Amino acid sequence: MQGLLILCRLLRKRVFLRWVPVSRPLVSGLMALLVIVAGSVRAADDGPKTVAVDGFKILAQPELFSPLTEPPCSYCVDQNTKGLVKPDDRVLAWIRGAHNGGAFPLRHFISGPRVVNDTYGLFFYDPDGGYVTSFKKDYGYSFYGWRGGVMVVKGPDETLWSALSGRAISGPGKGHKLERVPSFLTTWNHWLMLHPESTAYDLFDGQRYQTVALPDSISPQALQSIGEVDSRLDRFAPIIGVETESHQLAFPLDESMERACYQAGVGGQSVAAFWYGPTRSAVAFNASLDGRLLHFYADSISPRTAPFKDRETGSRWTLAGRAVDGPLRGRELTWMPSVHCRWFAWSLEYPETTVFSADEDK
């Protein structure tokens, strides 16, 4: 590579003309050709490389994306007046905390960087695995590559982390785990109906951040790094995976359904998983409230703002796990650590996971 650059400089200075009669058009043509070749070599140098790390392989390409750090904040209702976010824009919403949580559109803030380091959380976007994960605030993280098709990020001390599980897989922090922040994916319009007063990142005049369309296919790098996948489900099947300290459970999602609710025990806790088709949202909560076990179901005649009910009180519940009417109005369910993702990604990180069957629903 260095030799090609030197040759370009020599041609530019016409050094070879002292010894070899070369026409000016030929020199220009040679320079253009060498520039193309040098660019190709540089592109090859910048391409993904397979590296062995602690007994497994990572397809590394850390320079591919640059993280975003602490974008200034505003409020959803104020950002909506700018008309820069489409009603059906995919957003990541965090559902507990000040101002009833917050949300940001993926294509404006994380589709390009893939990592956001912020006061409200540490966010990772892996379109290949089909998920966005949210962890307790931290700084200095950036995209690194893929392991088994799942995004790997690098921390400030060079520790490598799984973007899905938040588990350190190599480096000084190996064995540690990031703390999840309650969140789920929905649309801008739906979140505005639930919490217009919540936090949002400031879009300013729409020119500060480059919008990047969400990928509509799995990247060649992820496909290259995916190995053998657990055959219990199709590798790309959508699921919501729930984890406790001792157990993991994957709920397969039927995306053809408008709304659905699944309930099962996970590690000694009863979990209710909500699915809402119009926004392609899946989220999981602890089904117990104040020590009382509730049984949830998707109610076909309830409004879209609160499509779920519990059988014990008839209260209606939103995707954010809040009762908006009935005896439990104003109460909130406890979010369960979970990820809405593709099966190949979940099963790689949690190979001992069990898979929910409708026969287990209770």
pLDDT tens for 178-196 read: 999 999 999 999 999 999 9
Question: Residue 313 has what pLDDT?
Answer: 98
Q: Which residue has the tokens 């190599």?
A: 170
pLDDT of residue 73: 96
Q: Which DSSP state fits 167?
A: B
Instruction: Name the residue with tokens 């995209």.
Output: 143
- pLDDT category at 55 given cuts 50, 70, 90 is confident
Provide CATH 2.102.10 ranges for the chain: 230-360
> Which CATH class name applies to 230-360?
mainly beta
Per-residue pLDDT, 361: 54
355/63 Cα distance (integer angstroms): 36
- Alpha carbons 28 and 11: distance in angstroms, whole number: 8
Band of residue 99 on the pLDDT scale cut at 50, 70, 90: confident
* pLDDT at residue 12 is higher than 90: no
User: Which DSSP string corresponds to 202-252?
Assistant: --TTS-SS---PPPSS--HHHHHH-----TTS-TT-EEEEEE-SS-EEEEE
What is d(CA 137, CA 117) in angstroms, rounded to the nearest whole number?
7
Q: What is the mean pLDDT of residues 105-114?
A: 98
Q: Are the CB atoms for 158 and 172 separated by under 8 Å?
A: yes
Predicted confidence at residue 31, as pLDDT, reads 42
Quick one: pLDDT band at residue 97, thresholds 50, 70, 90?
A: confident
18 versus 64: the higher-pLDDT residue is: 64
Q: What CA–CA distance (Å, rounded) separates 75 from 102?
A: 8
pLDDT per residue as tens digits for the range 222-280: 999 999 999 999 999 999 999 999 999 999 999 999 999 999 999 999 999 999 999 99
Looking at residue 26, its pLDDT comes to 44
Worst-scoring range by mean pLDDT, 28-42, 67-81, 132-146, 335-349? 28-42
As a whole number, mean pLDDT of residues 65-75 equals 97
Mean pLDDT computed over 20-32: 46
- pLDDT band for 14, please (50, 70, 90 cuts): very low
Q: Considering the chain, what is the average pLDDT of its residues?
A: 90
Strand order in the sheet with 142-147: 49-53, 56-60, 142-147, 150-154, 160-162, 168-170
Q: Model-level pTM?
A: 0.87
Mean pLDDT throughout 328-351?
98
Q: Do β-strands 338-342 and 115-118 pair in parallel, antiparallel, or remain unpaired?
A: unpaired
- Give 273-332 pLDDT, tens digit per residue: 999 999 999 999 999 999 999 999 999 999 999 999 999 999 999 999 999 999 999 999
Half-sphere exposure of 182 (CA within 13 A, CB side): 19
Q: How far apart are CA 272 and CA 39, in angstroms?
A: 53
Residue 43 has pLDDT above 60, yes or no: no
